[in-house]
Amino acid sequence: MNIAFILPFRSASGGVKIVIQYASILRKKGHSVKIYVPVIPYRFGYQLKNFKASFWQLHGILSNLIKGPFVYLPPEKYSISFIPWISDLFIKEPDVIVATAWPTAFSVFQMKFSKAEKYYFIQGYEIYTGPKEKIIASYNLPLNKIVLSSWLTNIMIDKYCNKKIYKVNNGIDINFFSNSEKEYHDNPQILMHYSPYPWKGGDDGLQILTYIKKKYPKVKIVTFGRKKVKTLPLNFNYHVNPSKHLLKKLYCQSDIFLFTSKSEGSPLPPLEAMACKCALVGTKVGAVPEYAENLISALLYEPDDIDALKNGVELLIQNLDLRKKISLEGEKAAKKMSIEDAVNEFEVAIS
């Protein structure tokens, strides 16, 4: 098949990484795959008079022109197809075209292709990423929908179902994310992914880690994220946009992975951590309760329940046997979630 993915931007976000990984594996399976990115980035629904949106759009244009048609996922870079803006004027009709974020869904819907099957790859409930009414309107478009969790499936069926909905169980590179020489520490290392976006729960996580560090000063706190952070409490060790190999090293060295997000589709960092035998303490969002079982392969709590998450981290600090059990069961669960299986499911959905 000739498959076209439409990305809203070239920044290496989690959603962009997933699309690039899927595209790479689909190519290996014999498909012709192109990834299109607009040189003029989307404004995500904001009007021209919105200074911040205008600034970032101009910044995006300059970045695209300077850095060229690549997406950088350290230490590698992947080729993409730059076009002025997303339109059928610049895209040869494929067999399948896939929107990957809510602004791209409108672009795909408006394309006047005669035969191409149109899909909307919904990786999260994006109501926080622009004007809510426009995002909701994107879910009502008559596009075939592909989602990454039962939670998203239920939302799309209950509120927005116009056409078929396919569920894909997202996965990871289980051969790469592994840990054959796990060491357990009396004074554990806690790892957390930090994002400044409110729905990611980063400030909740920092509040928990600050409490833990004060109560257990010998515990080591390590964090990572896509962008530089000016200040972190108590001089936490922070890694900016770590490479895949460094990220694996952090997972393998750490004993507990704290995940405090409030809304997700199918987040990969908790799954990657589990595959590296790092015990998960996290929130019941998106697909997390589908790949992690509470009290067996993870300790899971409701979003915003900071006290419960705090208690979960303390429980694993104090109880080494439980930490080992969660670690080993977490690895077993994660090894069932390979990205090859995910792409096979995706391939069936678009066939």
Q: All domains of the chain, ordered by start, with CATH?
A: 2-171+338-350 (3.40.50.11090), 189-334 (3.40.50.2000)
Which of 33, 23, 38 has its CA nearest to residue 90? 38
Section 261-288 average pLDDT? 96
* Burial status of residue 6 (CB atoms within 10 A of its CB: 0-12, 13-18, 19 or more): buried
The pLDDT tens digits for 176-229 are: 999 999 999 999 999 999 999 899 999 999 999 999 999 999 999 999 998 888
Q: Which of 155-169, 180-194, 274-288 has the lowest mean pLDDT?
A: 155-169
Instruction: Give, for 83, the enclosing helix (H) or strand (E).
Output: strand 81-83
* Burial status of residue 88 (CB atoms within 10 A of its CB: 0-12, 13-18, 19 or more): middle
Torsion angle defined by CA atoms of residues 95, 101, 103 and 104, in that order, rounded to the nearest 10 degrees: -20
The pLDDT tens digits for 325-351 are: 999 999 999 999 999 999 999 999 999
Tell me how far apart the alpha carbons of residues 42 and 50 are, in angstroms, rounded to a whole number.
13
Q: What's the mean per-residue pLDDT of the chain?
A: 92
Tell me how far apart the alpha carbons of residues 173 and 186 are, in angstroms, rounded to a whole number.
29
Q: What is the pLDDT of residue 74?
A: 62
DSSP string across 220-277: EEEEEESS--S--GGG-EEEES--HHHHHHHHHH-SEEEE--SS-SS-SHHHHHHHTT
